Amino acid sequence: MVFAGFLMVEKFGYSVAQISALFMINYLFNFFFAPKIGRWIGYVGERKALVFEYIGLIGVFIAYAWVENQYVAGALYVIDHMFFALAIAMKTYFQKIANPKDIAATASVSFTINHIAAVVIPALLGVLWLTSPAWVFYIGAGFACCSLALAMVLPRSPEQGNETRFGAL
């Protein structure tokens, strides 16, 4: 997300007002569509929702690396955030497989790990950004590919004792 913002400002000269408008579009989308997304995840399941999210993010990240039009870049930014709204499927998956008494501790560790990654990865990619912004997005697509592979391991009906498709093994 950070590098998409950099792209808008550095490559296309977006102003503060334009970036703020993109934030507002994303906020309004989430405000109006988050409940519908939640229902859709409940209908299709976490695995299908996450597979859809990660395939979409792979496409968006690769498109960021190639985009040459400021309006297409802005549309990609909004689409990027729309796909990230599907990340709620990770939370619903976790709620289905976790023992309720372990949720707080596990969420705390997850929060800590995510924050460490949120500092280290952008710092490393920031150095790469100085020489090749496109490669930052290719690496993001690589991360999305790894997430896609992991999403494929989720079962159709996750629950305690059936956390992965390999649960029977």
Looking at the structure of the chain, the number of domains it has is: 1
| Residue 160 included in any domain | no
| Residue 159 included in any domain | no
| Residue 126 included in any domain | yes
Alpha-carbon gap, residue 39 to 30, rounded angstroms = 14
| Residue 124 included in any domain | yes
| Residue 164 included in any domain | no
- Predicted confidence (pLDDT) per residue in 127-161, tens digit: 999 999 999 999 999 999 999 999 999 998 898 88
pLDDT value for 61: 97
The predicted model gives 113-137 an average pLDDT of 93
The predicted model gives 98-110 an average pLDDT of 85
User: 155 and 163 in contact (C-beta within 8 Å)?
Assistant: yes
pLDDT band with cut points at 50, 70 and 90 for residue 168 = low
| Residue 51 included in any domain | yes
Both tokens of 14, joined, read 């977006």
Both tokens of 54, joined, read 């990660």
* 3-state SS record for 46-75: HHHHHHHHHHHHHHHHHHHHHCCCHHHHHH
pLDDT value for 72: 97
Residue 111: pLDDT over 70 = yes
pLDDT value for 169: 53
Alpha-carbon gap, residue 92 to 96, rounded angstroms = 6
- Predicted confidence (pLDDT) per residue in 8-18, tens digit: 999 999 999 99
| Residue 115 included in any domain | yes
Residue 116: pLDDT over 70 = yes
Q: Which residue has the tokens 């597979």?
A: 51
| Residue 156 included in any domain | no
Q: Hey, what long-range contacts does 86-89 have (CB within 8 A, 24 or more apart)?
A: 86/37, 86/41, 86/49, 86/50, 86/52, 86/53, 87/53, 88/34, 88/37, 88/38, 88/41, 89/41, 89/46, 89/49, 89/50, 89/53
What is the span of the domain harbouring residue 137?
Answer: 2-151
pLDDT value for 64: 98
Count of other CB atoms within 10 angstroms of residue 144 = 22
- Predicted confidence (pLDDT) per residue in 25-66, tens digit: 999 999 999 999 999 999 999 999 999 999 999 999 999 999
Alpha-carbon gap, residue 4 to 141, rounded angstroms = 13
